[in-house]
Amino acid sequence: MPSVRQFNCDDGQPENTMTDQAEKAELHCHLDGLLCPTYIKAVQAKGFCSGLDLGKLQRLYPIRNLDEWSRLGEFLAPFVAGNGKLLLEVLRLHLKALAAQNVRYAEIMLCSFLRTADDRLHQLLHEYQNVAADLTGIKVSYLWAIGRSPDRARFEQKIERVISLWRQGYIHGLALAGNEKACKVKDYADIFQRLADEGIPVEIHAGEWCGPDSIWDALEYGYPRRIGHALSLFDDPALPKHFEKNNVHIEFCPTSNLRLSGVRRIEDHPILKAMDCGLSFSINTDDPGHFECTMNSEYRLLHAVRPFDAGTCQHILRNSLSAAFGNLPQGRAQPDAPPDGVSTVAPSPPVS
């Protein structure tokens, strides 16, 4: 089992006993983003992924920008395509590492093996449901992540399977990820209306590489309960007000944004403004295996520029649990009741 410090990088931040020991919840982490030399080495020892050249993989690190991240993705793609078993073994290791960091609840975005035949997929997802059964102190739920695509027929096909998996209880929601410029949520407004009618909770990556219009597009046509990244949130003063009024939660991923999304310094990250405004947000790793970050290193990174106390950690945990799509951990901090007048169901689209 890898230790908590399974990755080399902690962004140069010293250990912080208070934030390390704080209970945490993570809502934005991609299953394929867990892959890293440490985990691959561990699962190779168990006989998985034996064809992968570990030396070559190690030479692709560190991941400092979008080009390097894309090259890593291309290298890993043939080894993970349709390989839900390999990813399950990696997840098993990762959940142990999360539990050791006092992460009590994790939502993992599944991908890449949706094309697996039904009977095999159900068996596999059954194993995913039980992956944390022998771990105490952490619960895991799953979203299915679908990449943005201009190919409507393919998108519809994936949505059909997601709806089927949701009805059978295998997943707790949908995440729309991928290249934000590939299509607008508006292009699929009818599909998102259908998901809302089904009651499927939706998360949309928006404002990661595009401006506030992209976030408005997601809010207006996607009925999201959560927005991932939202880096351009404060470029339109009406947006933070909308988030506050409708209790839309933001999944911030600081290290990912420093590496891929043009945030130059952590001091410039909108999470600091969101703290000042009292918006509901979580702190997340996005692709921890690629960025060699951990939940503890993300907290330390922020704490270094905006020291916060144990009460703030508790508040972040409660807001994160309030925004969770899956079953919450028992006997742990429960979410705060929403403020008066704030609904816990999917927010309404903005009035234009």
Q: Residue numbers of the site for Zn ion (CB under 5 A)? A: 286
Rounded to an integer, what distance in angstroms lies between the CA atom of residue 341 and that of residue 338? 8
Q: What is the b/e burial string over 274-286, where b = at least 16 CB atoms within 10 angstroms of the residue's CB?
A: bbeeebbbbbbbb
Question: What's the min distance (Å) between Cβ of 228 and Zn ion?
Answer: 5
CB 140 within 8 A of CB 95: yes
Q: Please, what is the minimum distance in Å from the beta carbon of residue 290 to Zn ion? A: 11
CB-nearer residue toward Zn ion: 48 or 284: 284
SS3 237: coil
Q: Smallest distance from the beta carbon of 252 to Zn ion, in angstroms?
A: 11
CB of 63 to Zn ion, least distance (A): 14
In the complex, minimum distance from the CB of residue 7 to Zn ion, in angstroms, rounded to a whole number? 18
Which CB sits closer to Zn ion, 137 or 147? 147
For residue 53, list its beta bridge partners: none
Q: Give the nearest distance from C-beta 286 to Zn ion in angstroms.
A: 5
Token pair, residue 69, equals 């991240």
Residue 20 vs 282, nearer CB to Zn ion: 282
- Give the C-alpha separation, 259 to 257, whole Å: 5
Spatial distance between the Cα atoms of 31 and 46, rounded to a whole number of angstroms = 19
Q: In whole angstroms, what is the distance from residue 27 CA to residue 286 CA?
A: 9
Read off the amino acid at residue 257. Answer: N
Residue with tokens 């106390």: 309
6 or 285, CB closer to Zn ion?
A: 285
Specify the residue, 100 or 214, whose C-beta has the smaller distance to Zn ion: 214
**Which DSSP letter does residue 29 get?**
B
Take residue 211 and report the two structure tokens written for it.
């401006």
> What are the angstrom distances between the C-alpha of 50 and each of 40, 78, 101?
9, 12, 29
Give the pair of three-digit tokens for residue 89. Answer: 């073994």
- For Zn ion, the closer CB: 100 or 206: 206
Residue least distant from Zn ion (Cβ)? 286
Nearer to Zn ion, 180 or 286 (CB): 286
Residues 21 and 102: beta-carbon distance below 8 Å? yes
Any bridge partners for residue 141, and if so which? 107
CB of 333 to Zn ion, least distance (A): 25
Residues 80 and 73: their CA atoms lie apart, in Å, by 10
Nearer to Zn ion, 286 or 292 (CB): 286
Please report how close the Cβ of residue 274 comes to Zn ion at its closest, in angstroms.
17
